[in-house]
Amino acid sequence: MEFNVATGSGALGADTVCLTMQGNWMPAKMAEGTWSSSGAMTLTKLADPAVANSTDTVIAMTVNRFSGQTVCGLMDDAATNNMTENSNYTVSVSGLPTPCCAMSADESQMVLSVALSTAGGLATSCGHMYNGVWPSYSVPTGMHMLNTDSMDYSVNRGTYSMSPVVVWPVAADGTMQRFTEDVSLAIASAGNVIQMVPASISAGLGDEFMFGMLGAAITSQVSTYLVYWTKTDGASYTDVAPISVTVGSDLSTITVPSDVVCSLGGNSVPMKIELAACPHTDVTVGL
């Protein structure tokens, strides 16, 4: 993200930069504890075109605070590395989840704040993420996007969801398509808490979609997990954006008949037993 420290903005001498990501930019990797802050934030002071032989200057930063949707970095050697007015800067944060599609990036926004570590905040600005800010989220020519039917799913621990996660291909304009080549997908989450049946889903030439059932073991912690996809084959398809899976603790119901009819000296007719959710491991029901 590029920004300008204008004369009179009050940001003179700032040594801290904070970036708050909203909407689909929420860095869930931070919440699940798998995001590495080491070297993740960089600040560059851009060359001044009015000054001869001026060049970009990279200012080393250390992430000193991150939580929820905000990450903050302190400039190394803050006594000498601090902001000057009438200067342009770029700040970048690496290792965060990718938006689900170009539209999500366009409609989200980022809030940039600069501060002096010894005196608190100095200035704040809000910038909407239009294509001009980050055009790389357009689908490359000749590529097709893989979309999921939702970005948020839920499952109770000890079960698999009865509602599958569905993946299908779309064109750059959002039009649904059929698969034009073989594609296989698997998932991964922190601690492999979230699992899928089958473990790998696939589609071939002419197929409209592929799907799998998400589940979690009974020992899983009640929380929200960011789940990532790994793609095999399908060179003309984009990677699938991460999905959010919330693990709950609601109990699922097993329904048994209230009465049965047996013949004297014989056996009853088969009894129908219904499960409200597919069990994660074997379930035994007996009289």
DSSP conformational letter for 287: -
Q: Where are the beta strands (DSSP E) in 68-133?
A: 70-75, 87-93, 109-116, 120-128
Is 18 a residue whose pLDDT tops 70?
yes
As a whole number of angstroms, the distance between CA 130 and CA 106 comes to 5
Sign of the alpha-carbon dihedral angle for 49, 50, 53, 56: negative
Bridge partners (DSSP) listed for residue 116: 120
Least confident of 122-131, 185-194, 198-207, 239-248: 122-131
Bridge pairing between strands 183-189 and 200-203:
antiparallel
- Over the stretch 39-68, which tens digit does the pLDDT of each residue have? 888 899 999 888 888 899 998 888 887 766
As a whole number of angstroms, the distance between CA 273 and CA 268 comes to 14
DSSP-assigned letters across all residues of 101-158: SHHHHHH-EEEEEEEETTTEEEEEEEEE--TTT-GGGSPPTT-BEEEES-SEEEEETT
As a whole number of angstroms, the distance between CA 114 and CA 109 comes to 17
Residues in contact with 281: Cβ distance below 8 Å, sequence separation at least 6, in sequence order: 158, 217, 218
pTM confidence score: 0.60
Residue 104 corresponds to which tokens in the numbers above?
């999500």
Residue 107 corresponds to which tokens in the numbers above?
């409609």
How sure is the predictor about 29, in pLDDT bands with cuts at 50, 70 and 90? low
Closest alpha carbon to 241 in 249, 256, 230: 230
Residues in contact with 31: Cβ distance below 8 Å, sequence separation at least 6, in sequence order: 68, 224, 226
pLDDT of residue 138: 58
